[in-house]
Amino acid sequence: MPADSHSSVLAGLERIVGSGHVITDADTRRGYEIDWTARFQGSTPAVVRPATVAEVAAIVELCRLERVAIVPQGGNTGLVGGGVPLAGEIVVSLGRMTAIDDVDVAARQLTVQAGATLAAVRAAATAAGLTYPVDLGARDTATIGGNIATNAGGINLIRHGGTREQVVGIEAVLGNGQIVRRMSGLVKDNTGYHLPSLLCGSEGTLAIVTAARLRLTTRYDHRVTALLAFATVEAAVAAVARLRTAIDTLEAAELVLDAGVRLVCAAFDRRPPFARPHPVYVLVEAADVTDPTAALSGAVAALDGVEDAAVADDESRRTQLWRYREEHTLAIGTLGQPHKLDVTIPQHQLAAFMRDIPTRVSRYAPDASTWLFGHVGDGNIHVNVTGVEPDDDGIDEVVLGHVAEIGGSISAEHGIGTAKKRWLHLNRSHAEIEAMRAIKRALDPDGILNPNVLLP
């Protein structure tokens, strides 16, 4: 941005939100300029923190006039470099828009501003006797706006669906500066294109989400978690399929490997889960209005191939079991900046993929380590590769190319961001990409919203 335009934009932003909410100080900006993995780092002239939808609209209008690009940012826990200003964009942080009002128990919905964290929304729903069913490891920092923009999946998707399934209304400022607001929460409303669905997964390229109306579900106060050990991924995948058929209270099925569990134990000084190690573990959780322990235990007893099992129905032991899964991301981070490739594999290919991919990675980068874990119930595997330079995306090509070859998705739940836009063509046809471009042009005619994300 040229210096004269720079100062007129900053003055304009200060008029809209007040000078205290336009951050230009380098130290304070830094946290907004680098992503959670530290792989993506950029810079911004300013971080602007609006408090209302009207302020967001005024910011978009100003940036349109001045031809300045914007990166919307929530909790900055995204893993594909989509929420940081890699090309000098203004950052619009939703961090002041955190109100949660109107938990409507009869409609089983709540209204929330986009900057509220996922944890705050889940707590509000729980306090009202219901549940917001999307959950993920970054819950304390990730925001509802970010969840919507990335169409976050998470650990309960096999039972409740992902974020898109929960969004029944949306308020957003389009790239053309217009405010769209459809927050009545009518679940039957076939009156044309469904903008909430369109904005789910749009990664800040079409609109800045300012508020949402979310579907809530039954609060299951009884939970049981089991860690099951297997000799092979095949046995683990077959067991999860059988469990899903045997009990309809299954909320989560997370797969981890022995190497990852060892890494977690070493990084955080945890005891191993069993007296002797096993190649593969699956963490399953069932939840119900009455105690599901007997049903889960019975279903587990009927499974083939379970070499060891630990069952926990009290909060503290359940938390201990979950740590073996949830601490993977942090433990891998202790080894340096990983390449994080979040993919979906067809169920019948899962075991072969998990066997093959470390070999393919080693062929490309003999010193690299491949860490595999994920939401096995929906085929979503997180492929993390350490020991490769952060900007060496040949490794991404190896993994994503193979995923596409076997009919998988190159982005299961994290989005395309800047990290994967080069490979969008692996999953999307020319016609689909052109349709996406047409939608982008219609809603963001000046191309100011996240111009370096999603579309190649």
Ligand X SMILES: Cc1cc2nc3c(=O)[nH]c(=O)nc-3n(C[C@H](O)[C@H](O)[C@H](O)COP(=O)(O)OP(=O)(O)OC[C@H]3O[C@@H](n4cnc5c(N)ncnc54)[C@H](O)[C@@H]3O)c2cc1C
- Which residue minimizes CB distance to ligand X? 146
Rounded to a whole number of angstroms, the minimum distance from the CB of residue 162 to ligand X is 7
CB 173 within 8 A of CB 56: yes
Strand partners, 284: 226, 253
Rounded to a whole number of angstroms, the minimum distance from the CB of residue 103 to ligand X is 21
Strand partners, 309: 228
Within 8 A by CB and 6+ apart from 133, the residues are 156, 159, 160, 161, 166, 216, 217
3-class secondary structure, 28: helix
d(CA 339, CA 392): 9
**Binding mask of the shown chain, residues 48 to 87, with x at each position contacting ligand X by CB under 6 A:** -----------------------xxxxxxxxx--xx----
Read off the tokens for 147: 């969840």
Determine how β-strand 109-113 pairs with β-strand 100-104. Answer: antiparallel
Asked if residue 418 binds ligand X (CB under 6 A), the reply is no
Q: Tell me the window of 204-212, 288-296, 389-397, 440-448 that interacts with ligand X (CB under 6 A).
A: 204-212
Which of 42, 50, 95, 153 is in the footprint of ligand X by CB under 6 A? 153
Rounded to a whole number of angstroms, the minimum distance from the CB of residue 3 to ligand X is 26
Rounded to a whole number of angstroms, the minimum distance from the CB of residue 224 to ligand X is 21
Read off the tokens for 304: 């083939």
Rounded to a whole number of angstroms, the minimum distance from the CB of residue 120 to ligand X is 12
Which of 146, 185, 292, 358 is in the footprint of ligand X by CB under 6 A? 146
Which of 10, 94, 110, 212 is in the footprint of ligand X by CB under 6 A? 94
Asked if residue 133 binds ligand X (CB under 6 A), the reply is no
Q: Smallest Cα–Cα separation from 214: which of 143, 285, 140?
A: 143
**Binding mask of the shown chain, residues 31 to 50, with x at each position contacting ligand X by CB under 6 A:** -----x--------------
Within 8 A by CB and 6+ apart from 382, the residues are 328, 340, 341, 342, 371, 372, 373, 374
Asked if residue 338 binds ligand X (CB under 6 A), the reply is no
Asked if residue 281 binds ligand X (CB under 6 A), the reply is no
Q: Smallest Cα–Cα separation from 221: which of 141, 313, 299?
A: 313
Which of 44, 111, 150, 386 is in the footprint of ligand X by CB under 6 A? 150
Q: Which residue has the tokens 């945890």?
A: 270
Asked if residue 225 binds ligand X (CB under 6 A), the reply is no
Asked if residue 149 binds ligand X (CB under 6 A), the reply is yes
Read off the tokens for 297: 């235990």
Which of 413, 416, 421, 452 is in the footprint of ligand X by CB under 6 A? 413
Asked if residue 166 binds ligand X (CB under 6 A), the reply is no
Pick between residue 154 and residue 260 the one whose CB is nearest to ligand X. 154
Pick between residue 105 and residue 442 the one whose CB is nearest to ligand X. 442
Which of 10, 16, 60, 208 is in the footprint of ligand X by CB under 6 A? 208
d(CA 437, CA 361): 33
Read off the tokens for 434: 């052109």
Residues 344-383 that bind ligand X (CB under 6 A): none
CB 151 within 8 A of CB 235: no
The side-by-side arrangement of strands in the sheet containing 109-113 is 100-104, 109-113, 207-215, 167-174, 179-182
Pick between residue 73 and residue 427 the one whose CB is nearest to ligand X. 73
Pick between residue 80 and residue 265 the one whose CB is nearest to ligand X. 80
Between the alpha carbon of residue 285 and those of residues 53, 198, 453, the distances in Å are 39, 31, 35
Read off the tokens for 199: 């904005």
Which of 104, 122, 137, 311 is in the footprint of ligand X by CB under 6 A? 137
Residues 337-368: b if buried by 16+ CB within 10 A, e if exposed: bbbbbbbbbeeeebbebbeebbeebeeebeeb
Binding region for ligand X (CB under 6 A):
36, 71-79, 82-83, 94, 114, 136-138, 142-143, 145-147, 149-150, 152-155, 203-204, 208-209, 329, 413-414, 450, 453
